[in-house]
Every structure is written in C-alpha cells, then in structure tokens.
Amino acid sequence: MNRYRNARLRLASLGAVLSLGLALLFGAQTAGAVQYCDPYAAGSYGTCYGPYAALSVNAVVAQTSSWTTCAGAQGSGGAFYGQYFCASDFSCHTYGGGSLTPLAHNHEGFGQTIYGFTNGSWAGSCPRGGPVSRAAGSASATDAVTGAPLRSYASGSKTCLSVPDGTVGEGITCVPKAVAAQRGVMGVLVDGADKTGAELTSNKRLFALAPVGATSATISGASGTKVRVPVKAGFVQVALQGGEEALNWDITPAVLALP
C-alpha cells in the first residue's frame, strides 16, 4: 500500500490548489446549508463529526481525486448506523432519516483536508438518474449478499455507482463519463463502529461498475497475492480479506488503487 500512497502524496501541492477550488465551489451552496469538516485537516485515519440531525444525505469530498474518504453515521446512542461507504474523491451515503450524527472519515494513512455536507446541502451530493446505456446493455445486478439491486446511472457529465447498505440506505460515488469508460467506478462498504485515528475494520466489500468490454478484474495484494473476479451483469463485487491494494481490469494495463 505504501507505494500507492507515496504516489498520492506527490499530489499534495495540487491538493492545495484544488482545495481552494472546492472552497469556492462550496461557497455557492444554498442558504442554510449544513457543511462540516471545513476547515478540517483530518489526521491519519481521522474522523470528524457533523451536526446531530434527521439525516437523509451525508456527502464527503476528498482534497484530491486520488484520495479516499468514507461517509457514515452514528445513531443517538452512539452506535454505528449501517456501514461506511468509501470511495476516491467523493463518497456519499443516503439515509432514511432518523436522529443521526454524520461522520466523515479520512481513509488515508496521512492527513488531508476533507469536506462534509448533510442533507443534500451540496449540489453534487448523492445525484440520482436513470440507468446508464452500455455496449452490452444496461448494467443491472443484485448484491450477492442482500439481493438488493446494484445500480449505475448518468448524472450530468458523470457516471454513478449506487450500492445498497442493507435497509439503511445506499452508498453512491460518481466519476466523469470518460473516466468510467476507461477504469470503471469503484466503492467499498465497510462494517464496524467508528474508530477515530485508526484504520477501519478489515471487513470490507468492494463493488465496481466495469468499463465497457471488461470481462474480469484481478485484485492484488501487498504480498503478491492475485485473485481474479469475473464481471457479472456489468459489475464486480468481492469480499476483501485484508491487504488488498489494487484492481486491474483485463482490458487495460492500468493498475488502480482500491478505495
């Protein structure tokens, strides 16, 4: 993992520029919008807490598009509610309401600035739309564990992946359509309670919308392990065992760091 994260750290100067752009963009949000974590430089695996509210949307944005954040929430008793949804650049979790405290988790082993937004206060949070048209037909599949539908859809210039979190809600992440066509869209559901200042539980499930033409993906780990996973109905889904670092689609030599 270190070799991927070292490469990410080289983007620190770019991150500072992008942070300014994010601040300018977020400054245009609607009156009364709830934004948290800003300014908030989350330390290694740090977490910040939003306002206690009837939460319907929790969106978390990374300092740069190569870094990873997780969106989650705690119930009124302090117990974790559902799962974290983690993704590079933009992770979002919808909820059915209730008295919840939103959590924005830095999923990196180094400090970064992260931004949190509640209840759709940011225009880009949890976008919805119709199914994406693909060469092999619309991507349509179900979660192998819960049977709930996995969805992909277009939202403006982006392609989005939606992953069900049981009965709690869904995790959503989006990337530009051109990026999705080349490397797909990935997100990870992570079990367990919030662990401020520590890595999240190793119980993780990876979901990915495959790029057009891909028939399998290879998941590789730091120890040299490689596991081939087939694309089914346009998606890949696999339980991670811990130590997995990267994904490589069978149609491209590019190696992608896992969220």
Beta bridge partners, 171, equal: 93, 163
Q: What is the pLDDT of residues 119-148, one digit of tens each?
A: 877 767 788 665 554 333 345 677 776 667
Q: What is the pLDDT of residues 199-218, one digit of tens each?
A: 787 789 999 999 989 999 99
Q: What is the DSSP letter of 26?
A: H
Does pLDDT of 99 surpass 80?
yes
Q: What is the pLDDT of residues 33-86, one digit of tens each?
A: 588 987 777 888 889 999 998 899 999 999 888 899 999 999 988 888 999 999
Residues across the chain: 259
- 3-class secondary structure, 84: strand
pLDDT for res 197: 66
Banded pLDDT at 196 (limits 50, 70, 90): low
Q: What is the DSSP letter of 38?
A: T
Does pLDDT of 32 surpass 90?
no
> Which residue in this structure is represented by tokens 């908030």?
40
pLDDT for res 140: 62
Percentage above 90 pLDDT, the chain:
41
